[in-house]
Chain A
């Protein structure tokens, strides 16, 4: 017992109830809300953008919390999968041979409100847009690339149309918003992860290029006088895309490491490590990251599996077709061949660029009075501790963690609801607004399954070669327009 506590007790003689009142300034309110950015503000989930996901996006939840009733998104219908596919496929958990795996459960259909006479309020789009694309992409050409296909749907700036010649930030500014999400930069770094190739100027945007375009877009948005929220870029190791599988041979039934003489057996990769292994295939170092979805497709064909365990890879044979690929890029213009591995130096390069760009985002936000949502720190925290609410613990585990969708990269509706809650809290703290926090139980307990799950063509089983191969072409977008240095050459910072 502390001395002052004793004195307080001995001095006890009664209670004095203090009352008071204070006057608070009127809370900030927002009436027009827009979002500019990539697949995250779009609500992209499980490899597709469809209305079922769009109405569960963080962006839409914030609009609902603001009470905005005419918030317009480029809603895309969800249709049954077909053979061949006619739209980008949606992935989901399916039952395969009595176990839980990933398959195609539906696909994107048509835009439902294509003829809206004004720009959409949610201008987020998929297709791997980089920061420059939100400023410079003023004419979209459907069919040229994934990026153009998505931009044409969302920005509708195809030549000869009313919005031709306008960029995403310009369309956003034209709506005279008072609250803007400026959610860009992910593809300027994480494209290296999805392709398995970390090349400065190709899959990694140079910092100076990034900042120039970032500030250019920010300046246009700031001209509206709106409150702007910006975001840092998550670390590649905080998402399940490369954090699910160890770089060792797994038993295809139990999914546990195969042990030889009590030790796990490394998978074989396409990089040589002289002098210990001067010619590939060579065993993967323990710190190698494996693509959660694509690597098992190849392993199921024996690729990367040592011949001694029934696979095709022979140590030092020089037959790279039997090794798990690291990805490659042929300068100056490609092609970029995606890989399924991230060696330690590639991870370091991605993380280094992530940190460099995030430093600029933080500094630019502070200098411009921007509300910052440090998504990098938040993802890192959740990857380490999970996220608990109401006694429910969610993790970043693939498929069963609850936070990330079946593509291993984009959040589920639960993850988006948590983001919306975080964003609202930051805006309230920064501006004095009183935006109500979202209804997370709705995201937690409302089933979000494809209505076409049963109609999927022969549920695409996981880890079965034939079916998984059908996924290969649709996963891991390849940027058709790699960033080049001023001399027109792609610059490689890591590699063999």
Chain B
């Protein structure tokens, strides 16, 4: 007989799903919100609330599935690549001439949407997607000549390593919705939103070497939350009104979701090169794995849009999106099993933000379509909070796309090029006192396939 942990089937299923969908990505929309949840919408500047005419409407405006007549399945993915991620230092810290870079990786952001008609006017939908995510991993985060357990960390390592070396926030939403077509022109929808999330933060700890009066690395800290135990519930709703074949108005709402995270903190000592100091550090460094806790309130969003149909198959879509980022006012990380470890309390004080979008689609005979779009996304992050953890700024995005849409199947390709306005924290009241200019550009390539039965 063996004794061990038995993995419950429900939890195992969640883990398997999450492994495919949980992603950490560059913060390409403002804050750490991810709007690229459909290739067609991506080609139209994400101005899709008043369009919402494919299964990705479950994310953008679930009322849109009210007009679906078939069982639809839509599988897609976005490939998010940080094409530029650089930092030029300024005085007084880390200083002029210090150049850092963010690790460039392509992240995948898969989506899955199902639509099932229940009655002629009542449709059921299920979406699985990741509406929030963040991934910032700095190059040269810790240089110990390949032996960080025993080697001395080089001062030439990433200059922000005492703030953050590697950070990610991952999320996965399972979003069942029901849409009711009240009249041929009007549909409502409501859904439940179950969110799994995971956070991770790595950084080094510093101390003063009293023999040299200089700062040295004394430890590497990794805070990592569990996966399936960190979740929250919310809801979403939508309205789509099509009073005329050439005009529509849409509104969508997604509620806030608070996720409380439990996880672990591990402290790995770094040699300072001084045996006496190392002994002192060892005596004061938390040993083993410590419990860590935090919470994030993901903000509610409101999306308002209108779409106009013109002759020759042209469709113009305009949209304004509001996100209540003021919910994200603090990041408090505590160590409940060891009160001696000081809490990390970061006052973020984000502001509510708006994004303004415009999208254009031209349909051709033969079910082909081409698309273009633009949006400006205002950052919710005050410059005081910008730092190696996340440095966000206003951004302009230019989009292109095309697709094929037949009654039985279709596909869409979209691409978003996001030009992030350079962010200069020099001579500001920056909380991290980490001064310099951040440069970031991101490209998002998206595709999806739809099958109707």
Chain B 129-174 residues near chain A, CB threshold 8 A: 155, 159-164
Decide if B276 touches A95 in the complex (CB within 8 Å).
yes
CA distance A136 to B38 in the complex (A): 81
The answer to the question of A253 belonging to the interface, with a C-beta cut-off of 8 Å to chain B, is: no
Q: Is the CB of B322 within 8 A of A5?
A: yes
Kindly identify which residue among B213, B279, B352, B354 contacts A448, using a CB–CB cutoff of 8 Å. Answer: B213
Residue pair B304, A10 in contact (C-beta under 8 Å): yes
Q: In the complex, A421→B95 CA distance in Å?
A: 12
- Contact between B159 and A441 (Cβ–Cβ < 8 Å)? yes
Instruction: Return A117 CB to nearest CB of chain B, in Å.
Output: 35
The docked-state distance in angstroms from the alpha carbon of A95 to that of B274 is 11
User: Given the interface contacts A9-B354, A390-B163, A444-B214, does A421 sit within 8 Å of B92 by beta carbon?
Assistant: yes
The minimal Cβ–Cβ distance linking A344 to chain B, given in whole angstroms, is 30
Interface size on A, residues (CB 8 A): 48
How many Å from the CB of A301 to the closest CB on chain B?
A: 25
| Interface status of A439 (Cβ within 8 A of chain B) | yes
**Which one of A15, A100, A441 lies within 8 Å of B276 (CB-CB)?**
A100
In the bound complex, do residue A441 and residue B95 qualify as a contact, i.e. CB atoms below 8 Å apart?
yes
Decide if B206 touches A392 in the complex (CB within 8 Å): yes
> In the complex, A148→B239 CA distance in Å?
86
Q: Which residues in A have their C-beta under 8 angstroms from that of B280? A: 100
Cβ–Cβ contact A394 & B208, under 8 A: yes
A446, B214: Cβ atoms closer than 8 Å: yes
Within 8 A of B (CB), among A404-433: 405-406, 412-414, 417, 421
Contacts of B320 in A (CB 8 A): 9-10, 12
Assembled-state Cα–Cα distance A160/B160 (Å): 56
Determine whether the beta carbon of B212 is less than 8 Å from that of A447: yes
Complex CA distance for A441 and B212, rounded to whole angstroms = 14
CB-defined contacts of B159 to chain A, threshold 8 Å: 390, 441
Q: Which of B212, B318, B354 has the most CB of A within 10 A?
A: B212
Given A15-B356, A390-B159, A444-B215, are A439 and B91 neighbors across the interface (CB < 8 Å)? yes
Whether B93 is near chain A, meaning CB under 8 Å from some CB there, is yes
Q: In the complex, which residues 52-100 of chain B have their Cβ closer than 8 Å to any Cβ of chain A?
A: 91-96, 98
Residues of B within 8 A of A18 (CB): none
A196 within 8 A of B: no
CB of A213 within 8 Å of the partner chain: no
Query: Shortest distance in angstroms between A244's beta carbon and chain B's nearest beta carbon?
Result: 13
List residues of A (378-407) whose CB comes within 8 Å of B's CBs: 388-394, 399-402, 405-406
| B213 & A413 in contact (Cβ 8 Å cutoff) | yes
Are A439 and B92 in contact (CB-based, < 8 A)? yes
| Contact (Cβ within 8 A) B94 A13 | no
Closest A residue by C-beta to B279: A98
Counting CB contacts under 8 A, is B12 at the interface?
Answer: no
| Cβ–Cβ contact A445 & B214, under 8 A | yes
B447 within 8 A of A: no
> B207 to A391, Cβ gap below 8 A?
no
- Whether, in the assembled complex, A471 has its beta carbon less than 8 Å from a beta carbon of chain B, the answer is no
Residues of A within 8 A of B209 (CB): 447
- State the Cβ distance, B134 to closest chain A Cβ, in Å: 18
CA distance A496 to B91 in the complex (A): 52
A243 at the B interface (CB under 8 A): no
Within 254-274 of B, Cβ neighbours of A (below 8 Å) are at none
Contacts of A445 in B (CB 8 A): 155, 214-215
- Chain B, 324-364, contact with A by CB distance < 8 Å: what is the 0/1 string? 10000000000000000000000000001010101000000
Residues of A within 8 A of B212 (CB): 447-449
Q: CA of A98 to CA of B280 in the docked complex: distance in angstroms? A: 10
Count B interface residues, CB 8 Å: 43
In the bound complex, how far is the Cα of B376 from the Cα of A335, in angstroms?
76
Complex Cα gap A453–B210 (Å)? 13
- Given A5-B354, A95-B276 in contact, is the A391-B95 Cβ separation under 8 Å? no
In the complex, which residues of chain B have a beta carbon less than 8 angstroms from the beta carbon of A369?
A: none
Return chain A residues, CB-CB under 8 Å to B352. Answer: 1, 5
B432 pairs with A453, CB closer than 8 A: no
- Of B91, B94, B155, B203, chain A has the most CB atoms within 10 Å of the CB of B91
**Residues in B neighbouring A98, C-beta threshold 8 A:** 276, 279
A261 to B431, CA, bound (A): 46
Of all chain B residues, which has the CB nearest A438? Answer: B92
Query: Closest residue of chain B to A388, judged by CB?
Result: B433
Also in contact, A93 and B356, with CB within 8 A (given A1-B322, A98-B276, A100-B277): no
Q: What residues on A are CB-neighbors of B276 within 8 Å?
A: 95, 98-100
* B282: interface (CB < 8 Å): no
B300-320 interface with A by 8 A CB criterion: 302, 304, 318, 320
Q: Considering the complex, which residues of chain A in the window 87-142 have a beta carbon less than 8 Å from any beta carbon of chain B?
A: 92-95, 98-100
In the complex, the answer to whether A400 meets B208 with C-beta atoms within 8 Å is: yes
Contact B93 A400 (CB under 8 A): no
Chain A residues whose C-beta falls within 8 Å of the C-beta of B91 in the assembled complex: 436-440
Chain A residues in 8 Å Cβ range of B211: 92-94, 100, 449, 453
CB neighbours (8 Å) of A13 from chain B are: 318
Distance A477 CA – B91 CA, assembled complex (angstroms): 37
Please report the C-alpha to C-alpha distance between residue A108 and residue B354 in the assembled complex, in whole angstroms: 63
Q: Are the C-beta atoms of A390 and B433 separated by less than 8 Å?
A: yes
Q: Write out the residue numbers on chain A whose beta carbons fall within 8 Å of the beta carbon of B433.
A: 388-390
User: A residues within 8 A CB of B302?
Assistant: 1
Q: Which A residues are in CB contact (< 8 Å) with B279?
A: 98
Whole-angstrom distance from the CB of A443 to the nearest CB of chain B? Answer: 8
Q: A9-B322, A92-B211 are in contact. Are A390 and B354 (CB under 8 A)?
A: no
The reply to whether A390 and B322 form a contact with Cβ atoms under 8 Å apart is: no
In the docked arrangement, what's the CA distance between A406 and B432, Å?
28
Contact status A414-B213, CB under 8 Å: yes
B434 within 8 A of A: yes
Return A278 CB to nearest CB of chain B, in Å. Answer: 43
Instruction: Establish whether residues A441 and B93, one from each chain, have CB atoms under 8 Å apart when the complex forms.
Output: yes
Q: With contacts A98-B276, A392-B215 known, is A400 near B210, CB below 8 A? A: yes
Report chain A residues within 8 Å CB of B161: 391
Q: For the complex, give the distance between the alpha carbons of A183 and B94 in Å.
A: 29
CB-contacts of A429-467 with B (<8 A): 436-442, 444-449, 453
Known A402-B215, A414-B213, A453-B211; judge A390-B304 contact (CB<8 A).
no
A33 to chain B, nearest CB (A): 18
Q: Which residues of chain B come closer than 8 Å to A14, judged between CB atoms?
A: 358
Q: How far is the CB of B406 from chain A (nearest CB, A)?
A: 34
A98 to B276, CA, bound (A): 7
Chain A window 310-348, contacts with chain B (Cβ cutoff 8 Å), 1 for yes, 0 for no: 000000000000000000000000000000000000000
Which residue of chain B is the closest to A439 with respect to CB atoms? Answer: B95
Chain B positions near chain A (C-beta within 8 angstroms): 91-96, 98, 155, 159-164, 203, 206-215, 276-277, 279-280, 302, 304, 318, 320, 322, 324, 352, 354, 356, 358, 376, 432-434
16 A-B contacts (beta carbon < 8 Å): A9-B322, A13-B318, A93-B210, A95-B276, A100-B276, A389-B92, A390-B94, A391-B164, A401-B208, A421-B92, A436-B91, A437-B92, A439-B96, A440-B92, A447-B212, A453-B211
Counting from the closest, the 5 A-B pairs by CB-CB distance are A391-B162, A9-B320, A402-B208, A447-B212, A391-B163
10 more A-B residue pairs beyond the given contacts A12-B318, A400-B207, A414-B208, with a C-beta to C-beta distance below 8 A:
A1-B302, A5-B354, A9-B356, A392-B162, A393-B206, A406-B210, A436-B96, A438-B91, A440-B91, A445-B155
